Structures are given as C-alpha cells and as structure tokens.
Amino acid sequence: MAASGCRGVRSILWKYGSYGKNLFVSRSKMVPQLPLRQIYVASSLWKKNLAAAGPQKFTQEFIDKQVEEFEVGKRHLANMMGEDPETFTQEDIDRSIAYLFPSGLFEKRARPVMKHPEEIFPKQTAIQWDAEGRPFHFLFYTGKQSYYSLLHDVYEKILAIERHQDKMRNKGLFTSDTKQILLTGSRWLLKEEIEENLVENISVQDYMRLIQLMELLLSMPYCSLEEEFILKFRKQLEVQSSKYEIPALQYDPQGVAFSVADGRRKSAKASITLRDSGSGNITINGRNYLHYFPVLQNREQLMFPLLFVGMMGRFDIEGSVEGSGHSAQAGALRLAISRALLSFVSEGEVEKMRQAGLLTADPRIRERKKPGQEGARKKFTWKKR
Amino acid sequence: MAASVRHLLKPWTPSLCLVRWSRYNSYYLDPDPSKDARVPDSELSPEQKELQELKTVRRIKAALSSDTSSPFSDPLMSKFINMMMQDGSKILARGIMTQPREEIECSPHSVFQQALENCKPIIGLASVQKGGKSYQVPVPLTDNRRGFLAMKWMITECRDNKHRRTHMYEKLSQELLAAFANEGNVVKRKHDLHRMAEANRAYAHYRWW
C-alpha cells in the first residue's frame, strides 16, 4: 500500500517536472532517464502488478476453460471406452483412466488422475478490492473477512431468534419444548474443513469461538428456525452397522438354508458353513469340537455368538481352521460364526452383535522385539555404571 | 460428561510419539458382551442416551477371548485369573480357580466375592517427599485400586506364606474361606494398613491432590 502510494506520488512529481527531480530520492529500481514532461499516469496502472502477485493465481476464465475441457474430455473418454457419454460418472472415469494408464507407483497421489477442476485447483479468494484500491467487504481490514462476517451472521441469527421469542412471549405462546434439531450421528466441522469453506486461515481460538457461538445458537428454544444454517456446519457420521457385508443365504438341494463365512485372527484362517435346522453339532477339521478344543475357554468362544443371539441348538456348524495356536483358532472361528450368523439375524441384532464386539476382526498381533531391549517391552538389566 | 462425550465425536488423528500403544486407535470404543443388559430407553439418563447414540456411529473393539455373554462369566473372576496367571498359562490359572469348587460347599461364587470385599482396604498410603524427608501420607483409593490390592495380596499370600507341598487351589480355598470369615493373613494385612494410615493421619494435609 505504501509503495503504491509512493508511486502515485511519484507520478505526480514527474508530471510537475524539474523541482520534482530535486525532492526525489533515487532508488535502484527507478528507471533513471524518464523525460521530464511525462503524461500523468493513473495510479491504478501501477497497482495491477500487486493484485496479480496476490492470492489469485488462476483466473476465473482459466478455471472455466478447464471445466469445459474436462467435460469435453469426459465425453471423449466415454466414447473411447464404448460407454454412454450421458451416464459417465466419476467412478467410471477413474476406472477408465486406471485401465488406459496403468501405473505401478506406490504413491496414489502421483498416479494419473482425471477429476473435475474444482477438486484439482485449490479454491482461492477472488481479488478483494476494486480498481481504486477500495476493498469490497466492510470487514476487509480485519484480515479474516469471511470468518468475521460468518460470526456476524451467526449473531444476527441469534438476535432474530430472540426477537421471535419476545414476540411469542408477548402473544403468550412461548413454550420451551419446541422442535429440537436432531444432532445425533453428526459432528461439528473440523477447523480444517471450515478453513476450506472460508478459503481463509483461522486460528484455534477463532474456531473455538465459532463453535461456542453455534452452541449458543443451539441452546435457544426456537433454534429450529435456523436448522438448515446449523446443519451446514455439521457433518453426518455414517452409522457403522451398515458397513458390514452380510453373506448371502444359500440353499441346499434339500432346501436347507446355509451360509458360508471366513474369519481370521493372528494368522489363523477359519472357514465356516452354518446349516439351519440342525441340532447343534460342531465339527472342526473333521473332528468333534470336544476333541479339537479340550480347553473350556475355546469352546466357550465358539458358543459365544450363538448364545448371544439365542440360537444355540438351531445350527449345525462345519468348520475348517489352520494356522497359529489354539486360542487364535478359536477366535478366528468365532469371527467366522458371527459373520455367517448375520444372514440369519435381523438388523437390530446385527447392531447388538457389533456392540458386543463380535463382528470386529481383532487386530492385535505379537509386538516385535526392539533392538537394545531383551524383548518387546523387557529391557536389559539396568546398570548404574 | 456430555461435553466429553460430544468431544469424542471428532475423528481420530494420530499424535506423534506413541510409546505405549495399542493396535486400536482411540476412536474405538470398548465392547459390551453381556446379553440383554439393556435398560429400557425411558430409564436412561441423558448422558447414557448420548453414549448409546455415540456407540452407533463409532467403531467398537473386538471382544476379548475370555469374555462370553453367558451369565456364568464374571469380570471379577476373569481379572483374578489374569492376575494369577504366570508366563501366559491361562489354562493353569483357570484350572486353579475352578478347582476350589469341590472344597467350598455353599455358593463358591458369592463366597469369592464376599471374601475379596472383606480384603479391600478403604484407605491407602502414598509416599510424599517434603523437605528432604518422605512421609507416608494417608490417601483415598479408587475402586479399581482397592480391588486390585485385595486380589494382589490374596495371590501373594497364597504363593509365599503357605506350606510348600500344598497345591495352589487348596491354599486359595483356605485363604478365601478365612477372608470370608474376616480372619486370616490377608484381612490382617488390610487392618495393618488401616492402622498405619490412622497413625499417620497427622500428615494427611501433605496431600495436594
């Protein structure tokens, strides 16, 4: 700003010729031999360079051109792959690019990619001041104009809700039990996500202040008026139980339903066939489970999913397991039985099984031995000297 | 509590140096293998309701190999077995624990629970350094710590102070019966601790936590 002001002054000095030369302090950047009688140049012409050097590196026209090229390229790609250009989705694009340009690079981000320019070019702020140098937004000089204008908006909404409350009170219609916004299964946007939306950097305290204001908004009785505004700042978390793949129920030639599932624990691999209308026999690797697992704990583990669901005597289990030790084999079998049971059980039960910990594959493995130590945790004898 | 539960909804980002680390990141919640332990929805406090809702969106750890949904499994018993286990031989430890069944007649389960209750100290001692000297300061104990001390004393006493030729399960059953009747070495140790705490109560104000 100071430089531009100086240059504006400089141009006026040059206009007034000789005495300007005496007052002027020479700089290395200055072109020494300009004619005395120079036509006055508007200061805005000097300022063009500053704006270009600022945050915006891609102009809007450039991005629009990229978007056009992307659309055209998408249609070409669809034609190349022999598919319908109208219904060519991003997943199809990814698949086609992976097929046409197979890459063995380990870094996924280094592989060839074709995505919409919105996702490739980072969002930037447009130029925030006009040709005169006057900023457009009234909060420009705060440094974080989008953030502070957002705070202003939230506060406006709080005031509006208070006014609404007062109106209801005057009419005598004020109640505290109004429709509450459902916040279950969602979380506040993270600081990084908000920064992405605002295209500005904010500090941790700023973020906390914003969340405090939103919570204040939420605490008011009539907050449901601003529901969609608030939900813009909440991200939905997916319900976990939908993530489990239920094995398909197959039918025997005799009409008996059965399902097949696998399970793993620690390097033991198990495969289970669960047959309906049985009498509770369990056969593992061709032997009865009493012979195969003499330890009570392992047999308890086999029965755990069936007991939990309450279908103890209903199924015949035929399993094969290999690898690792007896306890890990029992764990692998338990996981396989739970997964096979999913096809016989209702949705609510699936969630209950998940919360009991039956459907999670146990990730624990033997911890490695570290150099300089006896084992994974045990250290060598500590000698003082 | 509500604020802390909401805080748990943030996704997990790994912090830098994980020294004592587990294969699960802190995003995972602990499982609850008990069957039909559900209180109907109307009786839940709002915090418990939030916790329930949190459970539907968070991942849950796998159930341990020693947990079952049967009513015969007892978390206290499992803890005791783990503490008695040496070098990872759970089979042996569990065998020792299940054997006293033949010796104890009336409801060994409740005898075990009551005996451990009788061994739990109410107040403990902590060493606090002040002015160059360390003092034993009486300090309140958490429930976990009390249970742990009771079990530890029981196991140590059974291992050390008995005749060499008797089996562990015999020693255990004798000690448990004695503790159930408020006699025996473990209960004596608890009383000693209480007496020391009473003697040192002048230093109680040295505790700052």
Q: Which residue has the tokens 């509500």?
A: B2
Q: Are A354 and B31 in contact (CB under 8 A)?
A: no
Q: How far apart are CA A339 and CA A246, in angstroms?
A: 7
Question: Which of the four pLDDT bands, split at 50, 70 and 90, describes residue A6?
Answer: very low
Q: How far apart are CA A91 and CA A225, in angstroms?
A: 38
Q: Are B81 and B93 in contact (CB under 8 A)?
A: yes
pLDDT tens-digit readout, A175-230: 777 777 777 778 888 888 898 888 888 899 999 999 999 988 888 888 888 888 88
A chain contacts of residue B58, beta-carbon cutoff 8 Å: 240
As a 3-state breakdown, chain B gives helix, strand, coil percent values, each rounded to 5, of 50, 10, 40
pLDDT of residue B67: 86
A331 touches chain B (CB under 8 A): yes
Number of helices (H), then strands (E), belonging to chain A: the values are 14, 8
pLDDT for B172 beyond 90: no
- CB-nearest partner of B65 from A187, A238, A327: A327
Q: Are A310 and A352 in contact (CB under 8 A)?
A: no
Contacts of B74 (CB under 8 A, 6+ apart): B109
A chain contacts of residue B10, beta-carbon cutoff 8 Å: 187, 190
A311 touches chain B (CB under 8 A): no
Q: How far apart are CA A57 and CA A45, in angstroms?
A: 19
Structure-block tokens of residue A8:
């504006």
A chain contacts of residue B56, beta-carbon cutoff 8 Å: 185, 239-241, 351
pLDDT tens-digit readout, A7-20: 444 544 444 444 44
List helix spans (H) across A16-59.
18-23, 43-53
A219: distance to nearest CA of chain B, Å?
14
Average pLDDT over residues A225-254: 83
A361 touches chain B (CB under 8 A): yes
Q: How far apart are CA A114 and CA A75, in angstroms?
A: 13
Most confident of the ranges A303-307, B19-23, B100-104, B110-114: A303-307
Q: Does the pTM of the predicted model rise above 0.90?
A: no
Beta bridge partners, B90, equal none
Q: How far apart are CA A380 and CA B44, in angstroms?
A: 51
Q: Which residue has the tokens 């033997």?
A: A366
- Closest residue in B to A363 (Cα) is B23
Please give the ipTM for the structure prediction: 0.77
B173: distance to nearest CA of chain A, Å?
22
Residue closest to B38 by CA, chosen among A214, A184, A352: A352
pLDDT of residue A310: 87
Residue closest to B171 by CA, chosen among B179, B159, B180, B181: B159
B108: distance to nearest CA of chain A, Å?
19
Residue closest to A305 by CA, chosen among A257, A343, A256: A343
Mean pLDDT of chain B: 82
B chain contacts of residue A240, beta-carbon cutoff 8 Å: 56-60
Question: Which of the four pLDDT bands, split at 50, 70 and 90, describes residue B7?
Answer: low
pLDDT of residue B105: 60
SS (H, E, C) B71-130: CCCCHHHHHHHHHHCCCCCHHHHHHHHHHHHHCCCCCHHHHHHHHHHHHCCCEEEEEEEE
Contacts of B29 (CB under 8 A, 6+ apart): B54, B55, B58, B59, B60, B61
Q: Is the dihedral of CA B70, B76, B79, B85 positive or negative?
A: negative
| First CA to last CA distance, chain A | 66
Q: Are B136 and B126 in contact (CB under 8 A)?
A: yes
> Longest Cα pair distance anywhere in chain A, in angstroms?
112
pLDDT of residue A19: 46
B interface residues, A as partner, C-beta within 8 Å:
9-11, 22-24, 31-35, 53, 55-70, 73, 90-91, 94
> Which of B19, B30, B53, B69 would best serve as a mutation to test chain A binding (most A beta carbons within 10 A)?
B69
Q: How far apart are CA A297 and CA A303, in angstroms?
A: 10
pLDDT tens-digit readout, B25-78: 878 888 888 876 666 666 667 787 777 777 777 888 999 998 888 887 788 889
Question: Which of the four pLDDT bands, split at 50, 70 and 90, describes residue A128?
Answer: confident
pLDDT of residue A321: 94
The number of beta carbons lying within 10 Å of the beta carbon of residue A91 is 8
CA distances from B83 to A284, A348, B42, B94, B147 (A): 32, 36, 39, 11, 12
Q: How far apart are CA B119 and CA B101, in angstroms?
A: 20
Cβ pair B56:A330 closer than 8 A: no
> Which of A349, A360, A367 would best serve as a mutation to test chain B binding (most B beta carbons within 10 A)?
A360
Q: How far apart are CA A343 and CA A96, in angstroms?
A: 35
Q: Is the dihedral of CA A38, A41, A43, A48 positive or negative?
A: negative
- CB-nearest partner of B68 from A190, A304, A361: A304
Q: How far apart are CA A66 and CA A70, in angstroms?
A: 6
pLDDT above 90: percentage of residues in chain B: 30
Beta-strand ranges (E) seen in A77-176 are none
| First CA to last CA distance, chain B | 21
A362 touches chain B (CB under 8 A): yes
